[in-house]
Chain A
């Protein structure tokens, strides 16, 4: 009866998709839980973290020496550790994904950047140059450093506090609203996708072929985007209906304590040091 079906595809596609979406939603909630934890950075004023970690990202982007970028990455890892964010969490959520994306640009740079030949791949005769290796190293390491610092910020600061801090630094309201709505849109997309695939699961009896799985995926993507777009429009209307005019207000007051000033001095010193030695 099912001889033409792939035996391993039995229910797997939809169930894997549901499990993946559930995992992604759990990850989003983990950020909230971690931000209210008891680590070192969690105790700091959000303004210090936004400015300090942002400055470190800029310093690593400006550094002209590879070891300086590596030092910024090391600083990010130390900050994550004292904030109870595990290396495993950083590796699985940032490093592997960033490496995949940055490698797409870094690998061609290995061969295409002119310079001193280091190694030629036998057979295809592609030559890796010293300059290519440096360029690729910068690209990968800068991306990893920036992503790690950003993750440290998001995992140690409630999202609304980040938005509020950005507004206090005079980031234009339209940018902050777009950032806030983007976050909400991604969560809605996940929730909708989860619901849609669960409903699909309840209506799917028996095994599905790879062709059927592809058709389900294509049909779902279109419907999902349109549904999420409509719902995110409603969310924005609901925000307006409750008095939202673009400004971010929160109940917690930001107040600089001694620890915050010390941390601000630490971030300033570290950033200045990285910029100086990285020239």
Chain B
């Protein structure tokens, strides 16, 4: 198994963000973590990336505990960070270097790669993501779509085996959204795993083979995209779709749960 979460509870002060959660993610998976705002998706991604640790229960990566003790060991931590990359929802949190080039070079520098390798690999990644022309620009001066690409480049530069993404298409215009999805589809597959936290159901079938639905920090359901999208009660119960009045082309006006395509 790639990740195993076993009866894990995580609290922010007194509020449980994850509540006795148990789930397993196999190797080479394309997984979507679905849920409304506050359902615990982002927290789960941070647990999977070893940034947060549960107050009870456990989390394992390829059979090894994701514990503070393990992350205290430099060698173990570097090996883990080399394999697992997390793209944060807010790119401003992830972009803190003076130029785009420095931003993308940050992780390889921490891994102590040779400087020649770093320069080659950074340029390769920038070119692949079509942002090489931005390399000397300060990241915080870029547009939302460009920032997302730089944030993605800053993680993909290590060519991790597992990519964790928190709401990667949030706040992007439709063209940037579709380009980002294409990139993820191109990158994923084979032995690579992609785990995406989202509440956007439109591209689910393209980005995931397996879905886990979270509700108030608990696992509400799991299944294939078709199974999850076909369960209207589940989607409405977990606030993934909503009902509002609208008019059909026939002129008929009524309300029922639906999603916009």
Contacts and interface: CB of A to CB of B under 8 A. Distances in A.
Contact of B98 (A159, A237, A245): A159
Contact of A251 (B92, B119, B154): B119
Interface stretch (B59-67, B109-117, B226-234): B109-117
B93 A231 contact: yes
B212 interface: no
Contacts of A191: 92, 140
B51 interface: yes
Contact of A242 (B102, B107, B118, B138): B107
Contact of A249 (B88, B92, B98, B110): B110
A118 interface: no
Main secondary structure of the interface of A (DSSP, over half): helix
A160 B98 contact: yes
A240 B51 contact: yes
A231 B90 CA distance: 9
Contacts of A239: 96, 106
Interface string A237-279: 1111111110101110100000000000000000000000000
A61 B119 CA distance: 43
Contacts of A15: none
Contacts of A159: 98
B4 interface: no
Interface string B63-98: 000000000001001100110011010101110111
A30 to B, nearest CB: 12
A243 B81 contact: yes
B85 A29 contact: no
A139 to B, nearest CB: 35
Contact of B102 (A160, A184, A187, A237): A160
B165 interface: no
A198 interface: no
Given A234-B93, A251-B115, A253-B115, A242 B88 contact: no
B107 A251 contact: no
A158 interface: yes
Nearest to B138: A29
A33 to B, nearest CB: 10
A32 B81 CA distance: 30
A242 B81 contact: yes
Nearest to A231: B93
Contacts of A245: 74, 77-78, 110
A158 B98 CA distance: 9
Interface of B: 46, 49, 51, 74, 77-78, 81-82, 85-86, 88, 90, 92-94, 96-98, 102, 105-107, 109-112, 115, 118-119, 138, 140, 154-155
13 contacts: A32-B138, A158-B98, A184-B96, A231-B90, A234-B88, A234-B90, A242-B155, A243-B78, A243-B81, A245-B74, A249-B110, A251-B105, A251-B109
